[in-house]
Structure 1
Amino acid sequence: MLHDPQPRAALRPRRVLPQRVLLTRSAALFEHGEAMARRAEALGLEVERLRGDRLPPLHADPANARASYREAKSTLAIVVAPPSKLRFQPISPSADWRVDLAEGCPAHCAYCYLAGSLKGPPITRAYANLDEIEAALPDYLGRGQVTSRSAHRALEGTTFEASCYTDPLGIEPLTGSLERLIRFFGRWDAPVQLRFTTKYADVEPLLGLAHNGRTRMRASVNPRAYAPFEAGTSPVAERLQALRRMAEAGYPVGLTIAPIIAAEGWREAYGELIGEARDALEGVTGLDLTVELITHRFTPGSREVLRSWYPGSKLEMDPERRAEKRTKFGSVKHVYDRDTMRELRGFFEREIMAALPEARILYWT
């Protein structure tokens, strides 16, 4: 059945707000830093203005990993991105370059890949020097190795991924950074694309922006049965509705099915999920849809951190049930074995082709 063509009421998705907001001295010197502080205060949050740039220690006992985690996750710090963030790094297979608006995320995902990447407690750090980040972007035009020089994805132009170290939509009510960057790319008359993926649904402020088709929003989704692994996020049904609204507003859109978890009943669960995506997008005119398929993996370090954060999680992370994969840097990742990967990939490619024939599968990993 086609969706009702009449305008629908705006989504009223829940917002995850921090309990503590910090503004460093240097961040306050940037207009965008002060703008973020004003947004926080408008939402009823008190902003602690620091005398320096060093973040104060958490109140929780440092020896209590769970308590430190909870306090860090409820803290947002407005800081200045270090110079290294202005030297963009390749981010294969997603995009040519990684552009970070923040580091850290308000969600509580039991499989979080940031667990092995972030140093110290997972405080979310939003970057105040967005002017400098924007000014650095043109130097990277046409220089990437993923879409800039790929026949398969050349129509995307030079791509910049904004979701590597954060969920930018999850913190957007406080930062406004995503809206500003979408406007920047909309004005940028060049073959470029901003990309972000999200587990949240508050897209209403983005619908009317002059994006000119240069931003692709992707919904990061998993079956409803896996919801306990994604605490603090919007329900999948709301994410899919938000994806539809963005597509109707002319944005290219996508599904990031990640991480694909080969738990008992996975065929039925993911078959249902793909069907829900099909139903949510049915009847959208001019739909530009991509799919990215990312299987669950973990490192010894991330497993240790995640077990301390979520001691009661039932997510399978048994190295004995996985194969080892060596990265180019020599580190180890635990991934599904070759036969399981082959079975998973064949299933998803068949199901997506049948349910979403207009979609382009960008990669499998």
Structure 2
Amino acid sequence: MSRAPVAWSTSNMSITEGHRLLDIRRIYLEPAAAELPRGREILARFPDAERVEVESHHRIPELYGDETNVARWVRIKTEALVLGVKKSLTARPNGRSADFIAPSTANGCAMACAYCYVPRRKGYSNPITVFANIDKILGYVQRHAARQGAKPEPNQVDPLAWVYDIGENSDCSLDATISENVRDLVELFRFLPNAKASFATKYVNRDLLDWDPQGRTRIRFSLMPAADSKLLDIRTSPIAERIAAIDDFVAAGYEVHVNFSPVVVREGWLESWAELFEHLDDALSPEARAQLAAEVIFLTHNDRLHEVNLGWHPKAEEVLWRPELQQAKRSETGGWNVRYRTGLKGRHVAALTDLIAARLPYCRIRYAF
């Protein structure tokens, strides 16, 4: 599925005028990745970028684990790209957004959402890492889906197909401006009779409209009140633009769901969500409404990310870090995750799902937590 190298220019990127996300000046690369066809394609797209060989895409001290990088948070996301080889290929069971989490073709992001969990794992900066061994990943996914056979019974993920999340640690719409990895996956799932791809996105990339997914890829546009997005969804497509894209993606053959995520509790939060639902209802065609479903995910935050954010975006922490409303739980990495208190959260979830039922009665809620 490899394609000929594409000459790179800013016209290759579906980024609105004045909102340039990527200006790649340095590529950190594993030598093995540079030898693969996909690796050569990516390097050809950025011919003027400095190339820095690294032993492992996981271990780049000047990018990861250095707290002084907080001051260069957005600059690193804009200027750095990592090119590696995905060594471990597994499909993990999920059960919420998907049945399985597919092996990732990328991780990290050029956007800078203040609540993103990826920086907790990589530390202080998480520019895009692209994996060049796409043929190995495609082969693994195809074999894994074949082993599953027919889905024995419907579940909240999908009534018929096994659904694979292909973008757990990145935004596939933005990844598609870097390489053909995402397109290769969409084309693969077009021909898998028992499986679908799925990914969440905060970035409208209209190049995807030409890919002819034939209903075998589900895009989940993440939505929140516009005021919250302006504060928290840094460097993403505006909420109005995401909503306006839904009908076009449905018409292009995608299944389109929405993620109401993350839900941030603050003064007037429920009224803000009501305004969002009114906007969404006004924008959707009958075809989009007929296939719409939603995930509702309330904020989970983290003490280490809180400290990072204080170094570059402290205003966000005024609504994200609310100890009087939150309770802590030790995370797998040794830090503390915080979420809204038991009891309080249950009431908030019920209030929001009731509001969805009233304002968007055609929108099935796949899960809410």
Normalised to the residue count of structure 1, the TM-score between the two structures is 0.84
Q: In the alignment, which residue of structure 2 is the partner of 1:324?
A: 328
The equivalent position to 2:353 in structure 1, one of 349, 359, 363, is 349
Q: In the alignment, which residue of structure 2 is the partner of 1:134?
A: 138
Deviations 1:186-214 (A, max 9, x none): 122x2111001111112x22212231211
Q: In the alignment, which residue of structure 1 is the partner of 2:341?
A: 337
* Amino acid aligned to 1:246: F
Q: In the alignment, which residue of structure 2 is the partner of 1:235?
A: 238
The equivalent position to 1:79 in structure 2, one of 80, 83, 95, is 83
Deviation at 1:169, TM superposition (A): 0.9
Tell me the percent identity: 26
The equivalent position to 2:50 in structure 1, one of 48, 57, 64, is 48
Unaligned runs of 5+ in 1: 1-10
Q: In the alignment, which residue of structure 1 is the partner of 2:43?
A: 37
Pair 78,113 (structure 1): closer, same or farther in 2 beyond 3 Å: closer
Equivalent pair of 2:246/2:288 in contact (CA under 8 Å)? no
How many pairs align? 346
Deviation at 1:225, TM superposition (A): 1.1
Deviation at 1:23, TM superposition (A): 5.4
Deviation at 1:325, TM superposition (A): 4.4
Q: CA RMSD in A?
A: 2.9
> How far apart, in 2, do the equivalents of 1:363 and 1:63 lie?
36
Deviations 1:120-140 (A, max 9, x none): 632221111111111111333
Matched, 1:96 2:110: no
Matches within 5 A, 1:1-365: 13=16, 14-22=19-27, 24=29, 25-41=31-47, 46-54=48-56, 58=62, 62=66, 64-84=68-88, 86-99=89-102, 100-119=104-123, 121-141=125-145, 150-188=154-192, 190-202=193-205, 204-226=206-228, 227-284=230-287, 287-313=290-316, 314-325=318-329, 332-365=336-369
Deviation at 1:78, TM superposition (A): 4.1
> How far apart, in 2, do the equivalents of 1:289 and 1:260 lie?
19
* Amino acid aligned to 1:27: A
> How far apart, in 1, do the equivalents of 2:22 and 2:250 lie?
27
| 1:74 counterpart SS class | helix
Deviation at 1:353, TM superposition (A): 2.1
Q: Which stretch of structure 1 is more off in the superposition, 333-342 or 127-136?
A: 333-342
Deviation at 1:328, TM superposition (A): 8.3
Deviations 1:41-74 (A, max 9, x none): 5xxxx23334454566549995524234234322
> How far apart, in 1, do the equivalents of 2:158 and 2:63 lie?
49
Pair 347,52 (structure 1): closer, same or farther in 2 beyond 3 Å: closer
* Amino acid aligned to 2:115: Y
| 1:166 counterpart SS class | coil
Unaligned runs of 5+ in 2: 1-13
> How far apart, in 2, do the equivalents of 1:224 and 1:285 lie?
21
* Amino acid aligned to 1:98: I
| 1:137 counterpart SS class | helix
Q: Which stretch of structure 1 is more off in the superposition, 272-281 or 18-27?
A: 18-27
> How far apart, in 1, do the equivalents of 2:77 and 2:209 lie?
28
| 1:181 counterpart SS class | helix
